[in-house]
Structure 1
Amino acid sequence: MNNHEIDYKIYGDDMQFVEIELDPDETAIAEAGALMMMDDGIELETIFGDGSQRGFMGKLFGAGKRLVTGESLFMTAFTNRVAGKKHVSFAAPYPGKIIPMDLSLLGGKIICQKDAFLCAAKGVSVGVEFQRKLGTGFFGGEGFIMEKLEGDGLTFVHAGGTMKEVNLEAGQMIRIDTGCLVAMTPDVSYEIEFVKGVKTALFGGEGLFFATLRGPGSVWVQSLPFSRLASRVFSAMPGVPGGSRDEGSVLGGLFDFIDGK
């Protein structure tokens, strides 16, 4: 195994965090800002790229791939520098689920949405997966670029709401909302399908396109994409056309009258 072997425990239900147990000299990597807490004796180090490359050019290339996906050039490494087991915890950025994925059991690679990666054992490579089909790139919800996680260790991804893993047999196909795709194994065929029927497309409320996924392989689907959550929050903000103001307040209507609204 090239990756560090780490143990973990996930806490919580909707606002989860993962606690990783590190043996001496074991390291976990995480996105900047994911840290929740850590024991004394763990050394924190900012690294260029994801830490899986060696040499200056390898590190530069790895950092460049992260820049293309919209992520920071740097990640943070957490290493246990003392004797005995130590713990470090990473929190989910918004309500949802943290899913552990053992890459050694998934063919050494998964493809996921750009903001799904949370943390991993050191040695996991965080790279770029380009969509080769024009329609998928334009209308697939994630654009032409998705994240690629490679290695043979544990990685943790996060998505909104509840997550479901769907195992597809050879030739089996499912259609999902383009924003609900979290991750998939590389052997899954990913295409975009236009919603049939003008009336359904314009007034159905489900958008103009479906993501069509065909097996064999595994697919992870989320019930609440962050874009949908953000859209609902924004539409309910005061001052936004159609938004709410002083919701639940008996005096809300009086304040609106005084303000001339």
Structure 2
Amino acid sequence: MNESDIFEVVETEQIPGAKFEVVQYKSLKGSDNLYVAEKVFFANKADIHLKMIRVTLERSEILIEPGALYFMKGDLQLKSDIQQGLSKGLMRKFTTGETLFQSRIKGSGEVYLEPTFGHYSLFNIEEDGLIVDKGAFYCASADLEVTAKMQGNVSSALFGGEGLFQTQIKGTGVVVLVSPVPTAELLIYQLKSGEKLSVDGSFAFARTASVEFRAEKSGKSFLQSATSGEGLLQTFTGPGMVWIAPTEEVYKRLGAFNTSMYPVTR
């Protein structure tokens, strides 16, 4: 059976020497375990697909999270090192949750990363870098640099809901991020210089580095903020782009409801 009979490509980004694809199984055929077969049946009915990242290299190189490799085919070499040296690697690990070591795959061939029922988003970075949620980085073309970015002001660090550091991706190339929701559910806003986007929650997924982020009161005073029921808002000021995931909080509430109704037992 050909791969095209099993997989379908749902998203693609390409640069010279590397093509990044999100591929998904058209359907899962089941299991000899009845419990697993039941889960597979409902996953198929709910249109939930098992996905993988496939990267096709032509005398090129990619950077992946250690442990993400599933299998690869072709003239390819795998090695691990500490990106940007030990000090920067330690800073990235302890401030953003990214790993100390990064794996690199170099050569020509096809690389498949571990399958998941989760979601991926592909970004082609050309000029302005990206600032993303901690732990969102999954893999990238080798010319990109993954570092820790300290929040630019006290309000965003203490009250913004994102912590003191986030992950910054700089350079030119393609990066694959683990998305909290399907890519089709991400809203993208292109902000003009000085234009604001205010979010009541922590569901802003990514922004270009030119966008300023801070936590602001929803009203002119703390009293107004308290009486409005909104409190502090995540505020993004252009110019630049912001990706938000409005359905993320809904899925979290549904997951919490399911856990309370049907507690997990060991």
TM-score by length of 2: 0.71
Matched with 2:199 is 176
Give every structure 1 segment of 4 or more consecutive aligned residues whose post-TM-superposition deviation is greater than 6 Å: none
Aligned to 1:19: 54
Instruction: Note if 1:188 corresponds to 2:211.
Output: yes
Cα offset, 1:212, TM superposition? 1.0
Supply the AA of the counterpart residue of 2:18.
Answer: I
SS at match of 1:174: strand
Aligned partner of 2:231 among 202, 208, 222: 208
- Partner residue, 2:87: 61
Question: In the alignment, which residue of structure 2 is the partner of 1:244?
Answer: 261
Equivalence for 2:154: 134
* Amino acid across the alignment from 1:48: I
Q: Deviations over 1:37-57 (max 9, x none)?
A: 3215422222112xxx4xxxx
Residue 72 of structure 1 corresponds to 99
**How far off is 1:23 after superposition?**
1.2
Q: For the aligned residues, what is the CA RMSD? A: 2.8
Q: Which of residues 19, 22, 35 in structure 2 aligns to 1:10? A: 22
CA distance in 2: counterparts of 1:209 and 1:94, whole angstroms:
33
Shift of 1:143: 0.7
Identity of matched residues, %: 20
Larger strand percent? 2
Task: Compute the displacement of 1:218 (Å).
Answer: 0.7
| Letter of the 2:186 counterpart | M
Report Cα offsets for 1:11-65 as digits up to 9, x if no partner.
23765432111113x211111232233215422222112xxx4xxxxx1133123
C-alpha change, 1:164 and 1:89, in structure 2 (3 Å) is farther
Structure 1 length as normaliser, TM-score?
0.72
Distance (whole Å) between structure 2 residues aligned to residue 245 and residue 117 of structure 1: 32
Structure 1 letter corresponding to 2:134 = K
Q: Which has the higher contact order (CA 8 A, sep 6+)?
A: 1
Does the 8 Å CA contact 2:51/2:116 hold for their aligned counterparts? no
Deviation at 1:235, TM superposition (A): 5.2
Residues 140-184 of structure 1: per-residue CA shift (max 9 Å, x gap)? 121110111111122122211132221111222111244211211
* Displacement of 1:246: 8.1
Secondary structure of the residue aligned to 2:149 is strand
- Aligned residue for 1:63, secondary structure, equals helix
Answer with 1 or 2: which has the greater Rg.
Answer: 1
